[in-house]
Amino acid sequence: MTIEQANQYFAALPDGFASTEQLRAAFTAPVQKVQFVGVAGTAGKTVTARLLAAILHAQGIHAGLYHAGCRPLSERICIDDAPVDEGLLALTADTLSAAEALPQDAAELAAAANCFGAAGCTLAVVELPDAGLAEALPGMPVCAVTSVGPDGVSRSVERLAALAAGVMRKESICVTAPEQPKSVLSELIVAAGKCGCELVVPDPEDITFLEAEKFASKVDYGGYTVPLAFLGRHAAGSAAMAVELSLALCRKGFDITDDAILEGLAAVENRSSIRVISQRPLIILDACRTPQQAAALLRVLNMAKVRHMSAIIGLAEEEGAEAFFSALETGLTPEEQKKDKSTMPGMSENPFDKVYLVTPAGGDDEMTARLTEKAKYHFDAEMCTSIAEAVELAHANTRRGLLVCGGEAAALEAAELLVNS
């Protein structure tokens, strides 16, 4: 099949569960020679994975990178900091399509692993939307659990932490995010103890994060001081994790110098997380979809003293919308809001004069009414039928600029419209 057909094949696969045996059966023999770094968690997986992959590239290690998302799969699998060879991915798709069908997450991971194996990669950094898939990977000396918090689905953070801990394995080193909620950290400590995995937690006291009003970003962690293309304190946490993952790989026998760490951290471009694509007018895209990420976004905007913007929110589903709106208004996660009783809905000063909502795909009139009511509890909100309509209205009515958030799909569609406008 062609690369276009391959991308369409993977995009059309359904969600679902694949057993460890099913996934292993899809791996080719060369995959057994690749060492993997699995990255699990609720938020920050893509940034952490990309930072580590850049460090490995700076060191000259023959490494692969796979991350989840809405872009075509051929854009999300990289080898040595370049998109995967299209012929190799198309051939891999041919092989997988002729075998037992796998759900989308498992099929994408199998395709990425087979490409890494065929290319002779030494290491591969893989984002795991489902941490349980990690069990099928042949070798994982180091792994990561990024920030864990509400994901818009009715599961406790303790349950989410237990699921993310599925990436751990005996005698590996797991690096987790600084400033995890206590309940999350407790779950991870217990899980690490049960499976014989060492847990490394970056010390927040070792992180110095500097931000300027023009969205400049610089982070220092344990003496590693670099400019970052990513904004917000959560980005500093991702950088700290990438440093600790590099040091953990050193302990596992890989040679990674301090210079490579600094070069890799500074080299990564921002493609999704609080991305400023224009200063005049100010246009910001953010793929945030969880309350954690929404709170982090608002903190960045407040630190930059941004006011009088229009916001476009394109949520993929109704569940979790109330928590998302609340975090975007107050800058507090649900856990922080429970502790801070002084913040009342609709009373917080925030950067948005107007908010335009876009109905999730398949949403009916009743869902639209519910979402609008929830949003109006926090903002001056109006419902739109499409991202295009929302962009047009926001452009026409903004005083300072516009923000697009709510998920990667909304950010990507808006980016295309704004670039072509």
256-297 residue pLDDT tens = 999 999 999 999 887 767 788 888 888 999 888 888 888 888
CATH for 275-420, among 3.20.19.10, 1.10.8.60, 3.90.190.20, 3.40.630.30? 3.90.190.20
pTM, rounded to two decimals: 0.87
pLDDT at 346: 47
Contact criterion met (CB below 8 Å) for 102 and 14: no
pLDDT at 272: 65
Domain ranges (residues) in the chain:
3-267, 275-420
Return the axis-axis angle of helices 157-164 and 182-195, rounded to nearest 10°: 30
Distance from C-alpha of 107 to C-alpha of 219, rounded to nearest angstrom: 36
95-120 residue pLDDT tens = 999 998 899 999 999 999 999 999 99
Q: Residue ranges of the chain with pLDDT lower than 70? A: 151-154, 210-216, 272, 339-348, 362, 420-421
pLDDT at 144: 98
CATH 3.40.1190.10 assigned to domain 3-267? The reply is yes
User: 316, 411, 415: which is closest to 371 by C-alpha?
Assistant: 316
Sign of CA dihedral 249, 51, 405, 204: positive
Contacts of 159 (CB under 8 A, 6+ apart): none
**For 309-345, b where at least 16 C-beta lie within 10 A, e where not — what string?**
bbbbbbbbebebbbbbbbbbbbbbbbbbbeeeeeeee
